[in-house]
Amino acid sequence: MIKTQNIEIVDVTARDGLQNESVIFTTEDKIDLINRSIETGVKRLEVASFVHPKYVPQMADAEAVINNLPEKDNLTYIGLAMNERGVDRALNTKIDEIGLVVVATDTFAKKNQNQTRDSSIKMASSMVKKIKSEGRKVNVTIAASFGCPFEGEVEIGTVVEMAQQIAFSNPDEISIADTIGVGDPWKVKELFSQLKSELPTMPLRAHFHNTRNTGLANVYTAIECGVNSIDVSIGGIGGCPFAPSATGNVPSEDVVYMLGRNGIDTGLSLNKLISTSQWLSKKMGKTLPGMVSRAGSFPENLSRAI
């Protein structure tokens, strides 16, 4: 039985959700999507990535998106940066929080951001200090924490050691990402249990992809381990352009439905998530992976996860 009663839902639809999709969203489309996400009740959103448009065309308008974000005191907007140049671009905007990425294997690190595992850690540690000196929040994601598409299995000890190294720079949060969706509940439990033991005061976030249909089980297990912050994407869209066969994130509506059935308050409206997912499906011209948006809530009048 999960004892945690309040879970923070981080909406990554406008960044991780869109970045691997072939349908290019205009800046206006993205602002519409973000506004719809906000209307569901989400308070923290990853909205852009400061990467070269040659490699991720969907993120070419990062500054324009951020300039047009709705301004509300209770919202936190996150922008992703892979290197110092990306950090500088982010700091020149009004973004609230900057996300950095380190990668658990050398091959994927090279393909993802032209770094090695060790140089990605060095970069992130340096950038954490720079970002905090500018008065912004900063989180660090350990990508490919459960497996690499090029090197295979990733040892739990490797990820724990990386997290310990990153923690020395004192980021506001460390996120553990199953970038290619190979994680399982047993490994999730082992990894997060060790992280909680080694870094008891460090806030942890979980980022799961549902590539092999273990995403919801992994979310449940992470929360059981005391993780209070979960990344989701409306309709379950998403994926990494640099990871072969990587599919979408865990669907927002499926996660909120599952947690709501156990009485866990996410503060999000399930009915609004479903309607937003259905809107997004029409916008993209395809059926999205999320299941609850197709089946509906239960009972039918359930409008809020409580």
Tell me the mean pLDDT in the region 88-102. 98
Distance between CA atoms of residues 39 and 56, nearest Å? 27
What length is written for the chain?
306
Fold of 8-295: TIM Barrel (3.20.20)
Joined tokens for residue 16? 């991780």
The helix/strand count (H/E) of the chain reads as 11, 8
Confidence band (pLDDT; 50, 70, 90) for 129? very high
pLDDT at 206: 98
| Phi, psi (rounded to 5 degrees) for 257 | -60, -50
- CB contact at 8 A, 169 and 133: no
Where are any strands of DSSP class E within 144-278?
Answer: 173-178, 204-208, 229-232
How remote is the C-alpha of 201 from its chain's centroid? 21
Whether residue 299 has a cis bond before it, omega within 30° of 0: yes
Distance between CA atoms of residues 145 and 126, nearest Å? 21
Question: Which tens digit of pLDDT belongs to each residue from 144-166?
Answer: 999 999 999 999 999 999 999 99
- CB contact at 8 A, 201 and 174: no
Number of other CB atoms surrounding residue 132 within 10 Å: 16
Question: Which tens digit of pLDDT belongs to each residue from 15-34?
Answer: 999 998 888 999 999 999 99
Per-residue pLDDT for 216 more than 70? yes
- Global pTM value: 0.95
DSSP letter for 268, please. -
Question: Which tens digit of pLDDT belongs to each residue from 33-51?
Answer: 999 999 999 999 999 999 9
DSSP letter for 262, please. T
Annotated domain spans of the chain: 8-295
- CB contact at 8 A, 148 and 154: yes
pLDDT at 306: 39
Per-residue pLDDT for 92 more than 70? yes
Please give the radius of gyration of the chain, using alpha carbons only, rounded to the nearest integer: 18
Per-residue pLDDT for 1 more than 70? no
What is the DSSP annotation of 108-124? HHHHHHS--HHHHHHHH
Active site residues: 240
Where are any strands of DSSP class E within the chain?
Answer: 8-11, 44-50, 76-81, 97-103, 137-143, 173-178, 204-208, 229-232
Per-residue pLDDT for 101 more than 50? yes
